[in-house]
Amino acid sequence: MIEMLIVALVGGLLVSLLILVNRVIFPTILSYPWSTKNPLKCQQQTIVFAGSFNPPHNGHLAMIEYLSKTYQNVILVIGMNPNKTYKVSPQVRAEILENMIVSRKIDKSRVRVKVVSGYIWRYAMAQNAVAMIRGIRTWGKDGKDERALYILNTWGPIVFGPLKWPLETIYMEGDPKFVGVSSTAIRELCDLSRTLTNDELTVRLKGMVPREVQKDILQAYITNDDH
């Protein structure tokens, strides 16, 4: 009897291990157009969309708008390391993101922004989220870096606790019309503040971020000694 229990336990552990390994090797990727594919069966649930949002842009906003219409509760999480110094703090980025949501008239009863210190998967579990979302350009371009994070999110709960079945991470590929829009491109544009006026920078930001937050981004990402 004991031997049978041991065999069953070992078999269950092996099956669980294979499921988790398969999840990392073959992640769920939600390609555009997103509305034609919904990897989660239940829409009346909480999901966590984690990112640096440094800064947020129209590509992020398109994803958030879709998620807010698809799921009941969307939590936008910006991770924070209390031992790290940021040029633009997570709190400032969160404020810009909230202003973006207002500018697009996204239902704020379904979307909220949180700055989280510590493991984001642990926070997501505490919120009873059914999955975590990551925005990417394509898996071919971002998959290498994302896979390392996915391994942490998959094995973290098992190694560091709480000992729960790991949440799945769903990867959303961006809308192709925003292929040239990225947080890096916006930061690099702001670095041109020594050679361009704020008005010229504002013109170049058109199409990258909503007009309502352009000044907020310039104020946050241009250092005081740039002019």
Q: What's the confidence (pLDDT) of residue 8? A: 52
Give Cα 185 to chain centroid, integer Å. 18
Q: What's the confidence (pLDDT) of residue 12? A: 58
pLDDT one digit per residue (tens) for the chain, 227 residues? 677 666 555 555 677 778 888 888 999 999 999 976 677 766 779 999 999 999 999 999 999 999 999 999 999 999 999 888 999 999 999 999 999 999 999 999 999 999 999 999 999 999 999 999 999 999 999 999 899 889 988 988 888 877 888 999 999 999 999 989 999 999 999 999 889 988 999 999 999 999 999 999 999 999 644 44
Distance CA 80, CA 89 (A): 9
Amino acid at 56: P
Q: What is the CA radius of gyration of the chain?
A: 20
Distance CA 157, CA 164 (A): 6
Distance CA 162, CA 155 (A): 11
Take residue 26 and report the two structure tokens written for it. Answer: 């073959």
Q: What is the pTM of this model?
A: 0.90
Nearest CA-CA partner of 100 in 135, 55, 155, 132: 55
